[in-house]
């Protein structure tokens, strides 16, 4: 496997069926959402079922925000998660005890946010769109200036998120050269109420990533 291959994280998985589908189609990792009040939020029991079904075949990431450290430890153990994505207002000091099996997600509005991302330890980091008009961060389907992430992608293993789909992911990869691309709404069924995933959209997204990744290597 070439180290320049762009990995994929398919996020907001809300059923064992979708988890099985994503893994069968070639996802490198899956994201399970534990942020209350978001449409893709699941409980620990469903997370355990998903991990039991596919956890031996792919990396399972728990997406969390502003949870107490003790609660994060408990959630990771109870659900059987492999890694944590901290998507709230967590500080660099808060992240450190969870390394290397955790990373920070940073909402990028400007170059200043990329500078701030460097304060967080670990090899991995995720750069995402800023909160939308409703104040929601992550999973909003809104794009941003992906090229802002390019300098950090030369230093760290950057996961690129925010409004990606089959139609724009190749351009984003060419501009940033990320370690991984992260998608949720871009692979969902039209009008999905609970984050239900579309087989056709997953296939199109993974195919676009594969072609763009190959172009980087050529």
* Catalytic residue IDs: 11, 128
Cα torsion 77, 81, 83, 89 to 10°: value is -70
Under 8 Å between Cβ of 104 and 86: yes
Question: What is the dihedral sign for C-alpha 124, 31, 139, 165?
Answer: positive
Measured distance CA(53)–CA(64) in Å, rounded: 21
Residues near 41 by Cβ (< 8 Å), separated by ≥ 6? 33, 34, 35
Distances (CA, A) of 193 to 22, 120, 144: 18, 34, 24
- Name the strand (E) or helix (H) holding 173: helix 169-176
Measured distance CA(185)–CA(164) in Å, rounded: 8
Residue 138's CB is within 10 A of a number of other CB atoms, namely: 28
Distances (CA, A) of 30 to 12, 26, 55, 184: 8, 11, 9, 10
């Amino acid at each position: 496997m070439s180290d320049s291959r762009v990995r994929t994280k398919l996020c907001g998985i809300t059923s064992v069926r979708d988890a099985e589908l994503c893994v069968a189609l070639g996802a490198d990792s899956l994201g399970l959402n534990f942020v209350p009040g978001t449409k893709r939020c699941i409980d620990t029991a469903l997370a355990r079922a998903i991990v039991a079904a596919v956890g031996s075949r792919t990396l399972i990431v728990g997406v969390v925000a502003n949870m107490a450290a003790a609660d994060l430890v408990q959630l990771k153990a109870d659900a059987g998660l492999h890694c944590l994505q901290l998507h709230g207002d967590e500080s660099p000091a808060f992240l450190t005890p969870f390394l290397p099996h955790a990373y920070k997600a940073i909402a990028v509005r400007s170059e200043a946010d990329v500078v701030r991302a460097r304060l967080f330890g670990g090899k991995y980091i995720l750069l995402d769109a800023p909160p939308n008009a409703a104040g929601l961060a992550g999973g909003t389907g809104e794009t941003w200036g992906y090229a802002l992430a390019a300098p950090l992608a030369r230093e760290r293993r950057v996961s690129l998120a925010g409004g990606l789909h089959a139609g724009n992911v190749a351009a984003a990869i060419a501009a940033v050269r990320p370690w991984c691309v992260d998608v949720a709404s871009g692979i969902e069924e039209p009008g999905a109420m609970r984050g239900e995933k579309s087989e056709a959209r997953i296939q199109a997204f993974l195919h676009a990533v594969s072609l763009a990744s190959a172009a980087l290597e050529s």
